[in-house]
Each structure stands twice: as C-alpha cells, then as structure tokens.
C-alpha cells in the first residue's frame, strides 16, 4: 500500500510488519508513520529511503517537528533510538532496552567479535611502547544487564522513598516520624521561627538534579514509578493542587529535610547521613552548603536525586 502521512494518523491495524519511508521530512512524520508498526506487539521494521537530509528552513517550526532530530537519526553512528530524545525524554538505547530488537547500528555491534576502544596510557619508567588501541570483550547483552541492574537499584530506592511518604501520611506528623515516636491525638510542635525561610530557600534553589528522575518542584515527590506524583499539564502553574499531600504537608520533602537539618540532634543526624551517602561532611555544615548539595548535578542517569538519597539515608540509619 502506498500512502501519505495523513493515512498514518489514527490507523490501528495490528499486522503491519514493514513500513518503507521515502524522503521523511522530520521526526514527527517518521514517528507517525512508524507508529503503524507492530500494534499486535510483534517485532516489525522501518526502512528509510532518502537522497538528502531533511531541509532546515524555519527555526521554530523545525524545532517543533524535529527536523534536526531526524537528521541525527539518519546520520547516527551509535544507537539510532537516542535520536528520539527530543520527543521522548525517557528514551533508552537498544542495550538499555534489554536488546530484544536492535537498530541496524546496534545490530552491527552485536554481530562483531569484539569492540575496540581507544585507551590513553601514561608511560612510566622504564619507558616502553604501548598499543594505542586495546581489544576488550563486550556485548550489547552485557551492557544491557549492567544498565538494567543499575536502573532496578534506583527503582528499589524510590520504593523506599514511597514507603517513607506513606508512613508520614499514616502518622500524620513529620516531626513524629523523625522522632520515631508517634503522639496520639491532636498536638503541635514548636518549629523554629526560621523554619519557613529554610524551606523556601530549598524550594527556590535552581534545580540541576531532575534531568533523569524528574519530580514536582513544590513537594519534590518523583513523577516516576513507584511514587507517581500527578503530572502537571504544560503551561499550568502548580499551586499545590496537583500535590496529593499538599494540604497536610506543604512542600513535603523539603520540609522534612529542613526539620532534620535544624533538629537539636542535627549534628549526629548529618554526620551519619554524610557517611551513608558517601559525601564530604562540608556539604552539610550550613544551610547554603546543604542546599547546594541537594540540588547538585546527578552522578549518572541511574542515581536518584540527592534530596531523596538524604531522606532515605536518614530513615535507614535512625529507624532501624
């Protein structure tokens, strides 16, 4: 069947196995056309025929439709799936997807006998000539296992965070959760007068740590499973109405961190936490230093944000 892009929109036929794309203009068109494939869950294939790369014409429109993304897809030297990142922030390479179905680039690597990686050497006396390239045994499958194991570890950490959130909700009081001694009935805790200023300072800081594991900027609860904070529509201001726990615990996680940091036993708390998260104690010696560490760049795509590591470390050390 020959068809234009218009046919691709909304057609839901389960048995399409191949789509041949001719002179695809942009990534949006490619995704619409290839979206007809494999709707019954079985492996299917796209083949792209082109005589030139998509033209770059209008910056704003090109960005919206993904012209540059399509150019990167066609000229990719590594995994082609990564070119989808402009439309899918959670995209992973073939290796990270357990290598069930490989793009042509990854398939070529998987079929090779070895990978050759450039390896710099520092020559030490007695000086001798060393090869500039070494061969190592590797495979798409072994890389996939490493990435999947790391990702599973991060999900396990978020499950621990979810348990903490649910425990606080059940107790009904963050201070009681910190003390580990719930008080039955109505009660109040005398928070220091500067508590709200500390929380506001945490919430107002520039976020650098939510690229891989995004979370609500108001309550800091992750959008990712298993925490599953409600998504916030684009262009809508989050006044707290999207935060499940906002009415009872405004700015839940930054407030919890502030209560731990200004607690009378904070010195002991922070010493233990610094060791648990393997960070120098200087990151916890002042509110400004802590704020900087809480929002620092992640160590990698499978490292959850420091704000969540902080709370989890406290729970493990003091609620054993």
Q: Are 87 and 31 in contact (CB under 8 A)?
A: yes
Q: Are 257 and 307 in contact (CB under 8 A)?
A: yes
Amino acid 63: pLDDT: 72
For residue 310, give the nearest of 223, 201, 209, 224 by alpha carbon: 209
The model's pTM is 0.58
Which residues have a Cβ under 8 Å from the Cβ of 95 and sit 6 or more positions away?
A: 79, 106, 140, 141, 143, 144, 147
How many angstroms separate the CA atoms of 207 and 294, rounded?
A: 9
Q: Are 134 and 114 in contact (CB under 8 A)?
A: no
E-strand ranges in the chain read: 18-22, 45-49, 115-118, 133-136
Q: Which domains does the chain have, with CATH numbers?
A: 5-109 (3.40.50.300), 160-318 (no CATH)
Amino acid 121: pLDDT: 45
Amino acid 162: pLDDT: 95
- Tens of pLDDT along the chain (320 residues)? 777 777 666 677 888 899 999 998 899 889 888 888 888 888 888 999 989 888 887 766 667 788 888 988 998 888 888 888 878 877 777 776 655 678 888 888 777 655 554 444 444 555 455 555 555 555 555 666 777 788 888 999 999 999 999 999 999 999 999 998 888 888 888 898 999 999 999 988 777 777 788 888 889 999 888 998 888 776 666 677 788 888 899 999 999 999 999 998 999 999 999 999 999 999 999 999 999 999 888 777 788 999 999 999 999 999 87
């Amino acid at each position: 069947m020959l068809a234009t892009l218009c046919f691709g929109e909304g057609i839901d036929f389960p048995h399409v196995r191949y789509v041949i794309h001719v002179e695809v203009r942009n990534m949006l068109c490619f995704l619409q056309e290839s979206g007809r494939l494999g709707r019954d869950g079985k492996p299917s294939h796209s083949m792209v025929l082109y005589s030139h790369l998509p033209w770059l014409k209008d910056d704003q429109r090109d960005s919206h439709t993904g012209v540059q993304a399509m150019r990167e897809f066609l000229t990719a030297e590594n995994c082609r799936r990564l070119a989808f990142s402009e439309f899918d922030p959670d995209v992973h390479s073939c290796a990270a997807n357990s290598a069930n179905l490989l793009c042509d680039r990854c398939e070529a690597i998987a079929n090779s006998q070895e990978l050759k990686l450039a390896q710099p050497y520092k020559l030490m006396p007695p000086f001798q000539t060393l090869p500039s390239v070494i061969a190592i045994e590797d495979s798409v499958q072994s890389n996939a296992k490493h990435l999947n194991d790391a990702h599973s570890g991060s999900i396990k950490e978020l499950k621990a965070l979810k348990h903490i959130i649910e425990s606080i909700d059940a107790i009904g009081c963050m201070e009681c959760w910190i003390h580990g001694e719930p008080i039955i009935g109505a009660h109040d805790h005398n928070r220091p007068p500067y508590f709200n200023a500390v929380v506001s300072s945490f919430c107002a800081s520039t976020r650098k740590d939510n690229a891989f594991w995004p979370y609500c900027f108001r309550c800091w609860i992750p959008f990712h499973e298993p925490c599953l904070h409600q998504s916030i529509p684009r262009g809508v201001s989050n006044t707290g109405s999207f935060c499940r726990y906002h009415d009872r615990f405004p700015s839940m996680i930054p407030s919890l961190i502030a209560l731990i940091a200004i607690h009378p036993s904070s010195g002991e708390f922070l010493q233990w936490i610094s060791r648990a998260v393997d960070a120098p104690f200087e990151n916890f010696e002042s509110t400004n230093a802590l704020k900087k560490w809480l929002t620092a760049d992640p160590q990698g795509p499978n490292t959850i944000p420091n704000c969540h590591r902080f709370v989890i470390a406290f729970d493990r050390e003091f609620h054993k």
